[in-house]
């Protein structure tokens, strides 16, 4: 494909239909970039449940998927409807079919541009076993474990070599899902059967592999952007260590951890660029690491899609990653480089889920009776909530992404705490009070936390 300037891409997409095959926060976020500078026509998939969603207001046209809440996974139906509406490109958002490696190929067969990478590159990086093999061949450290998928006897043998505790991980998993922690040999067989069944149900792939369960680690990831012409750029790290059950709750850039030295930062970025180049991947990717207390990194996975937490990188650098993802998909040259793309601010995101922290974070659905959104300097809000909206029970509990940004860590924390005091959601239980507690904790404010922070200080 010939290299295009961004201006040429703008001319190509103007007044063309771009579909967002997703819902909720993800759909609303992507629709905004399609409508803004690109001047394209935003189209949205929508099930019957989502016809009243705030995201619908951002679309010029709707593709009606009917009553089945799981219709966002029906790629055949989505592509058929897209062709009938003269859609030229599809953005998968995050979640649902965004990591289905058949999606790019099916789009190509239908003559539609997939706003992401190729099926081949997604299979290479998105499969945890394959990416481990690739990383080891590139001298990128990985967590000790099995070389590939294992049987129960092989899992036992690997566990003997590396020692307990271990993790059973789904080969096709991602986003913190498909992980079973095992602390002693007697737990292995039962956990293996459960984990394999869950992996088949969730990812369509029952295969598992073994990794050592590392303790006292930080979850650090690198956002990478790559075009079709060999240009790759890595942004500064995002610290995602504040987690519950392997699910991210708070994301920060740059990491406030005192152990995040400039040398470690550059090492992680170099590993990430090396991996993306070797795979022939283009689009956005996120390379995820665990980093121990001594500053030793271990690759754990690569996410081949737009990440939920991409917004804090946008705030740090003053860029639009979705706009760039679309530019890349249409053959545009990557507009980020070391000379011109510099970090400006620090940023933090908290995930506002409709869950009850006092009831083991049980999902909460129902009518939102009152809604007051925070604002002011240093705040960004990506939400799919409004007063009078019936928050559905058929989907996950993600309601909003609240971001604060500023010149330094203390300012970012102060702005976030102020925003959490302002934020009012009536009629539903949310995690807002829980996040207020985190923002007041002295260890969090000192940057002295790891992936055990929530379990240690519930």
Is residue 239 within 8 A of residue 288, CB to CB? The reply is no
Q: Where are the beta strands (DSSP E) in 245-309?
A: 247-253, 283-292, 297-303
Give residue-wise pLDDT tens across range 276-298.
999 999 999 999 999 999 999 99
CA distance linking residue 332 with residue 313, whole number of Å: 21
Q: What is the DSSP letter of 109?
A: H
Is residue 382 within 8 A of residue 29, CB to CB? The reply is yes
Q: β-strands 370-372, 424-426: how paired?
A: antiparallel
CATH architecture of 144-212: 2-Layer Sandwich (3.30)
Q: Please give the torsion angle defined by the CA atoms of residues 235, 236, 240 and 241, in that order, rounded to the nearest 10 degrees.
A: 150
To the question of domain 217-456 being in CATH 3.30.470.20, the answer is yes
- The reported pLDDT for the residue numbered 2 is 86
Banded model confidence at residue 358, pLDDT cuts 50, 70, 90: very high
CA distance linking residue 386 with residue 50, whole number of Å: 13
**Highest-confidence range of 162-171, 188-197, 367-376, by mean pLDDT?**
367-376
CA distance linking residue 451 with residue 412, whole number of Å: 21
Break the chain down into helix, strand, coil percent, rounded to 5: 40, 25, 35
- The reported pLDDT for the residue numbered 175 is 61
- Kindly state the tokens that stand for 75: 């790629």
Is residue 122 within 8 A of residue 50, CB to CB? The reply is no
Residue 1 has pLDDT above 80, yes or no: no
Residues paired with residue 218 on neighbouring β-strands, in sequence order: 291
CA distance linking residue 258 with residue 253, whole number of Å: 13
| Closest by CA position to 87, among listed 45, 56, 32 | 45
- Find the helix or strand (DSSP H, E) in which 271 lies: helix 262-279
> In the chain, what percentage of residues exceed pLDDT 70?
98
Banded model confidence at residue 174, pLDDT cuts 50, 70, 90: low
Q: For the whole model, what pTM was predicted?
A: 0.93
Domain ranges of the chain: 6-115, 144-212, 217-456
Return mean pLDDT, the chain.
95
Residue 73 CA from chain centroid, whole number: 18
6-115 belongs to which CATH class?
Answer: alpha beta
**DSSP annotation string for 6-49:** HHHHHHHHTT-EEEE---HHHHHHHHHHHHTTT--EEEEEEEGG
Give residue-wise pLDDT tens across range 398-450.
999 999 999 999 999 999 999 999 999 999 999 999 999 999 999 999 999 99
- Find the helix or strand (DSSP H, E) in which 201 lies: helix 188-203
408-420 CB burial, b ≥16 within 10 A, e <16: ebeebbbbbbbbb
Banded model confidence at residue 190, pLDDT cuts 50, 70, 90: confident
- The reported pLDDT for the residue numbered 176 is 62
Residue 330 CA from chain centroid, whole number: 22
Question: 28, 238, 274, 305: which is the annotated catalytic residue?
Answer: 305
| Closest by CA position to 266, among listed 235, 294, 302 | 235
Q: Please give the torsion angle defined by the CA atoms of residues 326, 308, 304 and 79, in that order, rounded to the nearest 10 degrees.
A: -60
- The reported pLDDT for the residue numbered 205 is 87
Q: Where are the beta strands (DSSP E) in 333-452?
A: 346-353, 355-356, 362-363, 366-367, 370-372, 379-383, 390-391, 398-406, 424-426
Asked about 418 being catalytic, the answer comes back as no
Residue 456 CA from chain centroid, whole number: 25
At which residue do the structure tokens 């889920």 appear? 353
Is residue 275 within 8 A of residue 264, CB to CB? The reply is no
């Amino acid at each position: 494909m010939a290299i295009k300037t961004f201006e040429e891409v703008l001319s190509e997409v103007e007044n063309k239909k771009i579909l967002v095959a997703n819902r909720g926060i993800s759909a609303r976020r992507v629709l905004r970039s399609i409508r803004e500078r690109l001047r394209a026509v935003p189209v949205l998939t929508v099930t019957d449940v989502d016809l009243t969603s705030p995201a619908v207001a951002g679309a010029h046209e709707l593709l009606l998927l009917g009553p089945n809440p799981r219709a966002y996974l029906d790629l055949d139906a989505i592509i058929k409807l897209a062709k009938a509406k003269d859609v030229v490109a599809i953005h998968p958002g995050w979640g649902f079919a965004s990591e289905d490696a058949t999606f790019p190929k099916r789009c190509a067969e239908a003559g539609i541009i997939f706003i992401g990478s190729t099926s081949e590159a997604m299979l290479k990086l998105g499969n945890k076993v394959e990416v481990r093999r690739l990383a080891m061949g590139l001298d990128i450290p990985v967590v000790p474990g099995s070389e590939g998928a294992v049987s129960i006897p092989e899992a036992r043998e690997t566990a003997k070599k590396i020692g307990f505790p271990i993790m059973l991980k789904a080969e096709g998993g991602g986003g913190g899902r498909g992980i079973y922690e095992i602390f002693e040999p007697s737990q292995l067989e039962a956990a293996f059967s459960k984990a394999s069944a869950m992996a088949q149900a969730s990812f369509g792939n029952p295969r598992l592999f073994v990794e050592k369960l590392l303790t006292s680690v930080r979850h650090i990831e690198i956002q990478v952007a790559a075009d079709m012409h060999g240009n790759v750029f890595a942004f500064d790290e995002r610290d995602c260590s504040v987690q519950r059950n392997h699910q991210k709750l708070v994301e920060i850039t740059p990491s406030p951890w005192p152990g995040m030295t400039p040398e470690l930062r550059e090492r992680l970025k170099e590993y990430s660029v090396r991996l993306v180049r070797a795979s022939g991947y283009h689009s956005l990717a996120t390379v995820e690491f665990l980093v121990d207390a001594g500053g030793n990194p271990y690759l754990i996975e690569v996410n081949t899609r737009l990440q939920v937490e991409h917004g804090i990188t946008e705030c740090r650098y003053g860029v639009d990653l979705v706009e760039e993802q679309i530019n890349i998909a249409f053959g545009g040259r990557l507009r980020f480089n070391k000379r011109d793309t510099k970090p400006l601010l620090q940023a933090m995101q908290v995930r506002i889920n409709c869950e009850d922290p006092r009831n083991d974070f049980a999902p909460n659905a129902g009518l939102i009776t009152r809604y007051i959104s925070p604002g002011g300097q240093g705040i960004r809000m990506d939400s799919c909530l409004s007063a009078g909206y019936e928050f559905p029970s058929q989907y996950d509990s993600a309601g909003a992404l609240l971001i604060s940004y500023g010149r330094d860590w203390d300012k970012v924390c102060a702005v976030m705490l102020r925003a959490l005091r302002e934020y009012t959601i009536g009629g539903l239980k949310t995690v807002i009070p829980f996040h207020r507690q985190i923002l007041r904790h002295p260890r969090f404010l000192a940057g002295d936390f790891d992936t055990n922070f929530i379990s240690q200080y519930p």
